[in-house]
Structure 1
Amino acid sequence: MKTTKKLLIVMALFALLFTNATVAQDAETPQYYTVTTMHWNMENQDTTWVKTEKEYLEKVTKKNQYIMGAGFYLHRWSDDNTELKYVQVFSSWENIDKASTRNGELEKEAWPDEKVRTAFLKRQNDFYSVNHSDEIYAVLPGSKPLSSDLTEDKILYLQRQHFAFPKEGSNKEFNELNKEFVENVIHKNEYIKGYYPHMHAWGADRTEFMHAYFLDSMSDLEKMAERNGELVRAHWKTPESRKAFFEKYNKYTTGVHGDQVYTAIAELRK
């Protein structure tokens, strides 16, 4: 029990550190992502999914001032071909609740007739299975924002790592190491069009450390990895300097990670 409490306290300190680092910025910068993992209703043969979700996007989501951004990500390479993810971006924790209330108001404005509104929402919900899960993530420093909104579908490569909490480590050291790596490798990699790091804020796994990479194509996954290697060797020029850096850096994660690839749907983004 003492070990568990100690671990939770350390996690809380990590969360506080990163949250404070982002909240200190302009209030209208992204602070949280909500991620809903849904599953297709495989018995539904309706082919109007994009049309239906686009109508909701235009009439509700884009008009909701509490939602900074939103988008759908479809399975491309993961352990479940029925899954898709819906991600929303918020500038504060309070806006997550406010957005839900505002959605309800906008739905009534968009479809004033209750029967019409009920029918539309039922058709929308029928695309999905009743099974879903929800997570909330805190935005971390070091993002490489997309230069512009998507005009065509892109590849989202999602890597899930897990924080370790070494006794000999410190928040200061991790921040410095992470900043050095991100600025000298990820930000300089031309194949990475966007990069968004985030960590657990609410959900099933408190150790999650997520990296979301936007790429132009599947072939760029391999090119990205090769380019990362080149940039690592360019910044840490000797085997000894690379070994010293990564021995320090890698102690903050467990070494266990998972990889998933999704298609970011440009037509359904706010």
Structure 2
Amino acid sequence: MAIMTGVMFGQYNPDNHVVTISMNYMNNMDEVEDGSWTKMGELMEEESSKMNRLDKDMISSLVLGHRWSGSLNEIVYMREWKSIADADKSTVGTGDMRKKGWPNDEKRKAFFTAYRKYWTGKHKDLAVMEMVTSRVKRNKKKITENSVVAVIEYYLKPMSQVEGGSVEEREALFNEYFNKVIMKNDKIISRRELKHYWSGSLGGGKIPVHNVTEYANMVDADNTSINADTIKKAWPDEDERKAFFEKRNKYIAWGHKDIAVHTNWVKLAKR
């Protein structure tokens, strides 16, 4: 599976955050000596709960397993940082955090021996993206059942192709839609908007943007009209609703790409 490999546009807003996306690979369970999904889950929960608490630089983290994308053994980590410097600082400090999480040398060695047998040791760095902090919806609820995360790429028109357009108007319209629709729709648990930072390329046509949206289940994720009722409540007057979307949609280019659909392992997440 490939995720976040499209062309995007650069990080120009220092108030935005950085999202790193990487993939780790599990060993086949039938090849793991005395391995089981239950034991692996317990080990992953212990590792995540301790490291998430100790890593003060990491703001949030999603651990995304196989659903309708890629292979069963591919696990995607989507982690948020205030800056790329914080991401580097966290990586460098991993060893020290592990010593704090498992202060006894023998117990730490035993834990990671058991933990690492489930992994190939291989990983792939997929992307470093900019997250638009003015349009992030964070999960405020306690969730115990795994959720569904869908990644969709849509496209903005270059400003030169938008008659009478401006970056200021575009951002104001996108913010209005986000605040009135995405934030008010309880079926959307969380959402991140990601742009190009240090991945992909820039220029020469449409500008891709990735929406990473979390739903409670596949029924909600597959519902193409999930925002219909919220939109009508936000703009009850039909003419005003039509005028808003005509103005907003002039900035959006035709088409979209379905990048991935994952199972979000909620017990491993840092919210």
TM-score bucket of the superposed structures, by smaller chain = 0.7 to 0.9
Cα distance in 2 for partners of 1:188, 1:242 equals 18
Alpha-carbon distance in structure 1 between the residues aligned to 2:259 and 2:176 = 23
CA RMSD of aligned residues (A): 3.1
The alpha carbon displacement at 1:248 in A equals: 0.9
Cα distance in structure 2, aligned partners of 1:230 and 1:210: 24
Is the Cα–Cα contact under 8 Å of residues 9 and 197 in structure 2 kept in the other structure?
no
Specify the SS of the correspondent of 1:202.
coil
**Structure 1 residue 40 corresponds to structure 2 residue 33:** no
Aligned equivalents of 1:200, 1:122: Cα separation in 2: 37
Q: SS state of the match for residue 194, structure 2?
A: strand
Query: Distance in 1 between the 2:197 and 2:54 partners?
Result: 26
Residue-by-residue CA offset, 1:130-175 (whole Å, 9 max, x unaligned): 2523312222121222123433321212212344424144321321
CA distance in 2 between partners of 1:103 and 1:64 (Å): 8
Match of 1:177 among 157, 173, 190: 173
Partner AA of 1:102 in structure 2: G
- Is 2:112 the partner of 1:120? yes
**Could you tell me which amino acid in structure 1 is paired with residue 20 of structure 2?**
T
Q: Which gives a bigger RCO, structure 1 or 2 (Cα 8 Å, sep 6+)?
A: 2
Deviation digits for residues 159-199 of structure 1, max 9, x if unmatched? 12344424144321321221132223222322112222121
1:108 aligns with 2:94: no
Secondary structure of the corresponding residue to residue 96 of structure 1? helix
Q: How does 1:38-187 map to 2 (within 5 A)?
A: 38-42=24-28, 44-45=31-32, 46-47=35-36, 48-109=39-100, 110=102, 113=105, 117=109, 120=112, 123-124=115-116, 126-128=118-120, 130-140=122-132, 141-169=134-162, 170-187=166-183
Q: Which amino acid aligns with 1:179?
A: N
Aligned to 1:229: 228
Match of 2:122, SS state, is: coil
**Alignment check: 8 A CA contact 1:53 1:268 kept:** yes
What amino acid is the match of 2:209?
Answer: F
Displaced runs of 4+ in structure 1, greater than 6 A?
none
Say which is worse superposed, 126-135 or 140-149, in terms of deviation: 126-135
CA distance in 1, matches of 2:9, 2:246: 26
- The answer to whether the 8 Å contact 1:61/1:103 transfers is no
Tell whether the 8 Å contact from 1:162 to 1:257 is kept in structure 2 after alignment: no
Structure 1 CA distance for aligned equivalents of residues 266 and 245 of structure 2:
40
Q: Over residues 32-75 of structure 1, what are the superposed CA-to-partner deviations in whole Å (9 max), with x where a residue is unaligned?
A: 22111233333643223222222322343321222222231111
CA distance change for structure 1 residues 219 and 79 in 2, over 3 Å: closer, same or farther? same
Q: Which amino acid aligns with 1:142?
A: R
May I ask how many residue pairs the two structures share in their alignment? Answer: 247
Structure with greater proportional strand content: 2
Greater mean deviation of Cα atoms: 119-128 or 209-218: 119-128
Q: TM-score with structure 1 length normalisation? A: 0.76
Q: 1:64 to 1:188 in 2, by over 3 A?
A: closer
Q: TM-score, normalised by structure 2?
A: 0.76
Name the SS of the counterpart of 1:68 in structure 2. strand
Identity over aligned pairs, percent: 17
For 1:4, the equivalent position in structure 2 comes to: none
Q: Is the 8 A contact 1:107 1:117 kept in 2?
A: no
